[in-house]
Amino acid sequence: MNSSSGKGSMSTASSSAAWKAGDAVPEQFPAGLRVLVVDDDQTCLMILEKMLRTCLYEVTKCNRAEIALSMLRENKNGFDIVISDVHMPDMDGFKLLEHIGLEMDLPVIMMSADDGKHVVMKGVTHGACDYLIKPVRMEALKNIWQHVVRKWKDEWKDFEQSGSVEEGDRQQKQSEDADYSSSANEGNWKSSKKRKDDEDEAEERDDTSTLKKPRVVWSVELHQQFVAAVNQLGIDKAVPKKILELMNVPGLTRENVASHLQKYRLYLKRLSGVSQHQSNPNNSFISPEEAAFGPLSSLNGLDLQTLAATGQLPAQSLATLQAAGLGRSTAKSSIPMPLVDQRNIFSFENPKLRFGEGQQQHMNNNKQINLFHGIPTTMEPKQLASLHHTAQSIGNINMQVTSHGAQSFQNNSLLMPMAQPQSRGQVLNNSTVGHAPTLPSSMGQPILSNGVAVNVSPRNGIPENIRAPGYNPVSQTSSILNFPMNTASELPGNSFTLGSTPGISGLTSKGAFQEDVNSEMKGLGEFLSSYDTFNDLNQHKPQNWEIQYVGMTYDASQHSNSLQDNLDLMQSVLVQQGFSSGQVNGQNRSAAVVRKAMFSAGDSTEHVNAQNVNQHLNSLVENTIRVKSERVADASAANLFPNHFGQEDLMSALLKQEGILPAENEFDFDGYSMDDIQE
Binding-site ranges for other proteins (CB under 8 A): 40-44, 46-47, 50-51, 54, 85, 87, 112-114, 134-138
Q: Residue 92 CB, nearest distance to other proteins (Å)?
A: 12
Question: Within 10 Å of residue 178's Cβ, how many Cβ atoms?
Answer: 12
Cβ neighbourhood burial of 113 (10 Å; 0-12, 13-18, 19+): middle
Please report which helix (H) or strand (E) contains residue 34, including its range: strand 34-38
Rounded Cα distance, 441 and 444, in Å:
5
CB 373, CB 448: distance < 8 Å: yes
Minimum CB–partner distance for residue 56 and other proteins (Å): 13
Tally the C-alpha atoms within 13 A of residue 68's C-alpha that lie toward its C-beta: 32
Nearer to other proteins, 46 or 235 (CB): 46
- Element spanning 26, H or E: helix 25-28
Q: Cα separations (Å) of 421 from 349, 379, 499, 502? A: 22, 13, 6, 10
Instruction: Quote the least distance from Cβ 91 to other proteins, whole Å.
Output: 14
Asked if 348 contacts 551 with a C-beta cutoff of 8 angstroms, the reply is yes
Nearer to other proteins, 40 or 634 (CB): 40
Shortest distance, position 85 Cβ to other proteins, whole Å: 8
Report yes or no: 376 and 597 within 8 Å, Cβ to Cβ. yes
CA distance 510 to 312: 22
Nearest partner of 617 among 452, 419, 328, judged by Cα: 419
d(CA 136, CA 133): 6
| Torsions phi, psi for 58 (to 5 deg) | -95, 120
Q: Cβ of residue 31: shortest distance to other proteins, in angstroms?
A: 16
Q: Least distance in Å: CB of 118 to other proteins?
A: 13
Amino acid identity at 385? A
Kindly state the smallest distance separating residue 473's Cβ from other proteins, in Å: 24
Residue 7 or 87 having the CB closest to other proteins: 87
Task: Work out the angle at residue 542's Cα, subtended by the Cα atoms of residues 539 and 548, and round it to the nearest 5 degrees.
Answer: 120
| Integer Cα distance of 273 and 606 in angstroms | 24
H helical segments located in 356-462: 357-374, 381-404, 407-422, 424-432, 446, 452-456
Alpha helices by DSSP H, listed for 40-180, are: 42-54, 65-74, 93-103, 117-125, 138-142, 145-163, 172-176
Select 74 or 115, whichever has its Cβ closest to other proteins. 115
Q: Which is nearer to other proteins, 134 or 215 (CB)?
A: 134
The closest alpha carbon to 424, from 310, 594, 292, 258, belongs to: 594
Nearer to other proteins by C-beta: 48 or 266? 48
Question: Which residue number, 112 or 501, has a Cβ lying nearer to other proteins?
Answer: 112
- Residue whose CB is less far from other proteins, 41 or 203: 41
Least distance from other proteins to the Cβ atom of residue 143, Å: 16
Minimum distance of other proteins from residue 55's CB (angstroms): 11
Least Cβ distance, residue 124 to other proteins (angstroms): 20
- Minimum gap (Å) between residue 250 Cβ and other proteins: 39
Could you tell me if 499 and 448 are in contact, meaning their C-beta atoms sit under 8 angstroms apart? Answer: no
Check: CB of residue 196 under 8 Å from CB of residue 207: no
Phi, psi of 128 (to 5 degrees): -65, 145
Smallest separation, CB 9 to other proteins (Å): 20
User: In 3D, which of 313, 211, 169, 229 has the Cα closest to residue 663?
Assistant: 169
User: Of 115 and 606, which has the nearer Cβ to other proteins?
Assistant: 115
Kindly state the smallest distance separating residue 139's Cβ from other proteins, in Å.
9
Nearer to other proteins, 118 or 212 (CB): 118
Cβ 110 to other proteins shortest distance, Å: 13
Which residue number, 44 or 414, has a Cβ lying nearer to other proteins? 44
Please identify, using beta-carbon distances, which residue of 132 and 481 lies nearer to other proteins: 132
Q: Which residues of 640-661 are buried (b: 16+ CB within 10 A; e: fewer)?
A: bbbbbbbbbbbbbbbbebbebe
d(CA 161, CA 132): 32
Q: Name the residue nearer to other proteins (CB basis): 54 or 143.
A: 54
Smaller CB separation from other proteins, 20 or 382: 20
Q: Greatest CA separation found in the chain?
A: 68
What is the DSSP secondary-structure string of 536-572? HHHHH-TTHHHHHHHHHHHHHHHSTTHHHHHHHHHHH
